[in-house]
Structure 1
């Protein structure tokens, strides 16, 4: 089963890609705040 981002609900083929994706959310939050 693909891993799903709880923030934007995108699906990814594995959790490693999901972790990298979550890192982009955190980076974006730091830039926007």
Structure 2
């Protein structure tokens, strides 16, 4: 159970990081335009 919780937590952290990267990229594109 602990292992699956760790995997879920790490996936959430990775997903949050990817979402932040995508948002910052879109913001940079918008600011350039």
Could you state the TM-score of these two structures normalised by the residue count of structure 2? Answer: 0.55
**Greater RCO, CA 8 A, separation 6+:** 1
Q: Greater share of strand residues, 1 or 2?
A: 1
- Count of residue pairs the alignment pairs up: 21
RMSD: 1.4
* Higher alpha-carbon Rg: 2
Could you state the TM-score of these two structures normalised by the residue count of structure 1? Answer: 0.55
Runs of 4+ with deviation above 4 angstroms:
none
Q: Greater share of helix residues, 1 or 2?
A: 2
Structure 2: runs of 5+ lacking an equivalent: 1-8
Structure 1: runs of 5+ lacking an equivalent: 1-12
